[in-house]
């Protein structure tokens, strides 16, 4: 029987997507049998942003066998317990979308039903008062989760803020040690096999030819292979997510770095603050249909805490995704496959999914359509579900102080999102479908945070006495506040942790 195994894998692009792909493949495949080549062009460079993550990132590093403390030192990372949203529902509103659960589900009933009952009874505690991540985050505290599930500290769930460029360098070292061959150069043209339309060779500017059996398009917004060469269609979501521009700048810290991201809504978009160990990354995402670049720049600079330490950069993007993520002998991973603004820090996660789902379906050279279709189905679903969650932040606003917010408040939204909102509004219920990224507590945090309050609470919870509920909630909140008070500060924890790793 002929050996149909893929022997030459070629990655185009050396940003986060390219090196994450190279690292993951090199950790799985024997370099004696499979050659992995990565082509990147220093002249083109990388997008150079992408500093906030979600907890799943930890699984990726673990899969590669990377020690957390080594990763933190190499990438100047801090810990992240969630995101604080300011001015999203109404101007002056603030809410925290924490990682992990709120409270604890009691007798099999979702915690938010108890919160709702207390709210209907006149309690004015926001739901984040029952999240250890939110309480510790706002107090500037951090520790690792406790292993004992009975400990309140077991409720900690976290991710990182980090320097993405350093992460790509760190992974490059990892991948090269495991046999990945890096080729510097600009891909100038791509040859296809006439009979099949598969990619056969890449021709670099210096004349070098790179042959491959399978290709990964990690070329960023250019989408050199998937769109420019294979002509795969792109679904444009600008009508739901009208932001199409970003300006970014780094500034000095003022005070210790908080263990959470801040996202503040502005008149035609929003601004982020992401603290790493050495600086705060800032960016203003906006829609150029509603705001000129100069005005956006003024807002960015006006929203800084400390002195700028880099020049501001402008980036353009179109929100949406490829119609197919795997086409012929090529998979698109990273910005080449689609873009959703970083409101919930999901891009690196989607890269991770693109890689892990490919590895789960790893093909031989025959690429059965059923395998390709399954990959595309799963990746489409991942993107579409994240898209709905991002749109929620925009459509669930009561702001009417600018044309941008008037548009977002009144735009039509996907049916899938409409259903989720209605089910919550009318019956207080939220369900997680298939392997959807965002779980119930995340949907609840954003919906309540943006003033979507269900009309009723669970009828079973309604039969409980007021005192019973307030007693449970008060003791939960007290236990969390006490636990947070005993935690080290975020800065002290990082210092200790990175110092211990040096020893």
Interface contacts to ligand FAD, rule CB under 6 A: 12-18, 39-41, 44-47, 49-53, 164, 186-187, 218-220, 222, 224, 246, 248, 283, 315, 317, 334-336, 342, 345, 347-348, 351
Instruction: Please state the closest distance from residue 59 (CB atom) to ligand FAD, in A.
Output: 14
Burial 370-400 (b: 16+ CB within 10 A, else e): eebeebbebbbebbbbbbbbbbbbbbbbebe
**Which tokens is 366 given?**
């025959």
And the tokens for 160?
A: 């990182």
Distance (Å, whole) CA 455 – CA 417: 18
In contact, 109 and 461? CB cutoff 8 Å: yes
Query: 143 or 391: whose CB is closer to ligand FAD?
Result: 391
Contacts for 28 with CB less than 8 Å, ≥ 6 apart: 359
| Cα 242 versus chain centre, distance | 19
Q: Of the two residues 280 and 336, which places its CB atom closer to ligand FAD in the complex?
A: 336
| Cα radius of gyration (the chain) | 24
CA separation for the pair 19, 171 (Å, rounded): 6
Catalytic, out of 73, 80, 141, 420: 80
Question: On the CB side of 96, how many CA atoms lie within 13 Å of its CA?
Answer: 26
Q: How far apart are CA 144 and CA 154, in angstroms?
A: 8
In the annotation, is 80 catalytic?
yes
How many Å apart are CA 205 and CA 131, to the nearest integer?
A: 54
Quote the tokens at residue 437: 């990224």
Shortest spacing between CB 379 and ligand FAD, in angstroms: 14
Number of H helices, E strands in the chain: 15, 21
**Cβ-based nearer residue to ligand FAD, 40 or 101:** 40
Least Å distance, CB 341 to ligand FAD, is 7
SS3 label, residue 346: coil
The nearer residue to ligand FAD, 219 or 376, going by C-beta atoms, is 219
Minimum distance of ligand FAD from residue 449's CB (angstroms)? 20
265: which strand partners? Answer: 270
Q: Quick one: 54 or 447, whose CB is closer to ligand FAD?
A: 54
Q: Map residue 327 onto helix, strand or coil.
A: strand
Q: Which is nearer to ligand FAD, 39 or 265 (CB)?
A: 39
In the bound complex, what is the minimum distance in angstroms from residue 489's beta carbon to ligand FAD? 24
**β-strand partners of 249:** 282
Closest CA to 339 of 247, 270, 263, 244: 244
Q: Which is nearer to ligand FAD, 103 or 281 (CB)?
A: 281
Nearer to ligand FAD, 82 or 283 (CB): 283
If one counts every other C-beta atom within 10 angstroms of the C-beta of residue 88, the result is: 25
349: which 2 tokens? 């996660």
Smallest separation (angstroms) from ligand FAD to the CB of 220? 3
> What's the closest the beta carbon of residue 491 comes to ligand FAD, in angstroms?
21
Angle, CA 334 vertex, CA 330 and CA 335 arms, to 5°: 105
CA distance 310 to 250: 6
- The whole-angstrom separation of Cα 390 and Cα 270 is 13
CA 175 to chain centre: 23
d(CA 112, CA 114): 5
Shortest distance (Å) from residue 316 CB to ligand FAD = 9
Going by their DSSP bridges, the two strands 214-217 and 330-332 should be labelled as parallel
- Read off the tokens for 281: 């990354």
- Smallest separation, CB 57 to ligand FAD (Å): 8
Residue number, 118 or 223, with CB nearest to ligand FAD: 223
- What's the first-to-final CA gap in the chain, in angstroms? 54
Residue 108, Cβ neighbours under 10 Å: how many?
Answer: 6
**Residues assigned a catalytic role:** 80
């Amino acid at each position: 029987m002929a050996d149909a195994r893929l022997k030459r894998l070629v990655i185009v692009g050396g940003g986060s997507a390219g090196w994450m792909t190279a690292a993951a493949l090199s950790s799985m495949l024997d370099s004696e049998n499979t050659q992995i080549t990565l082509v990147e062009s220093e002249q083109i460079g990388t997008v150079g942003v992408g500093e906030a993550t979600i907890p799943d990132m930890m699984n990726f590093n673990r899969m590669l066998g990377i020690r957390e403390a080594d990763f933190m030192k190499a990438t100047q990372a801090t810990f992240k317990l969630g995101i604080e949203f300011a001015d999203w529902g109404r101007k002056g509103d603030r809410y925290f979308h924490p990682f992990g659960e709120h409270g604890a589900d009691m007798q099999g009933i979702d915690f938010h039903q108890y919160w709702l009952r207390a709210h209907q009874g006149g309690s004015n505690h926001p739901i984040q008062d029952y999240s250890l991540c939110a309480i510790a985050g706002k107090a500037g505290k951090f520790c690792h989760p406790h292993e004992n599930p009975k400990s309140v500290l077991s409720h900690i769930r976290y991710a990182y803020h980090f320097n993405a460029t350093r992460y790509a360098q760190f992974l490059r070292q990892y991948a090269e040690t495991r046999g990945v061959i890096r080729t510097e150069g600009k891909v100038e043209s791509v040859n296809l096999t006439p009979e099949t339309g598969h990619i056969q060779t890449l021709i670099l500017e210096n004349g070098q030819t790179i042959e491959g059996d399978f290709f990964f398009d990690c070329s960023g917004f250019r989408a050199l292979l998937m769109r420019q060469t294979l002509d795969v269609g792109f679904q444009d979501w600008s009508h739901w997510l009208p932001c199409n521009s970003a300006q970014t700048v780094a500034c000095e810290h003022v005070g210790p770095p908080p263990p959470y991201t801040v996202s503040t809504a502005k008149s035609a978009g929003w601004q982020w603050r992401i603290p790493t160990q050495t600086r705060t990354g800032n960016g203003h995402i906006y829609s150029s249909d509603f705001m000129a670049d100069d005005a956006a720049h003024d807002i960015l600079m006006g929203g800084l805490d400390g002195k700028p330490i880099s020049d501001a950069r402008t980036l353009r993007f179109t929100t949406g995704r490829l119609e197919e993520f795997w086409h012929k002998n090529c998979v698109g991973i990273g910005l080449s496959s689609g873009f959703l603004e970083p409101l919930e820090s999901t891009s690196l996660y989607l890269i991770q999914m693109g890689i892990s789902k490919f590895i789960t379906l790893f093909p031989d050279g025959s690429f059965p359509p059923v395998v390709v279709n399954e990959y595309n189905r799963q990746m489409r679903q991942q993107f579409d579900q994240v898209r709905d969650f991002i749109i929620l932040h925009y459509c669930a606003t009561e702001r009417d102080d600018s044309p941008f917010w008037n548009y977002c408040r009144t735009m039509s939204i996907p049916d899938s999102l409409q259903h989720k909102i209605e089910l919550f509004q009318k019956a207080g219920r939220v369900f997680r479908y298939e392997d959807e990224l965002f779980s119930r507590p995340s949907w609840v945090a954003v919906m309540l945070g943006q003033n979507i309050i269900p009309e009723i609470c669970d009828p079973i919870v309604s039969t409980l006495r007021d005192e019973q509920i307030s007693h449970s909630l008060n003791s939960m909140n007290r236990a969390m506040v006490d636990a947070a008070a005993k935690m080290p500060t975020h800065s002290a924890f990082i210092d200790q942790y990175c110092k211990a790793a040096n020893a």
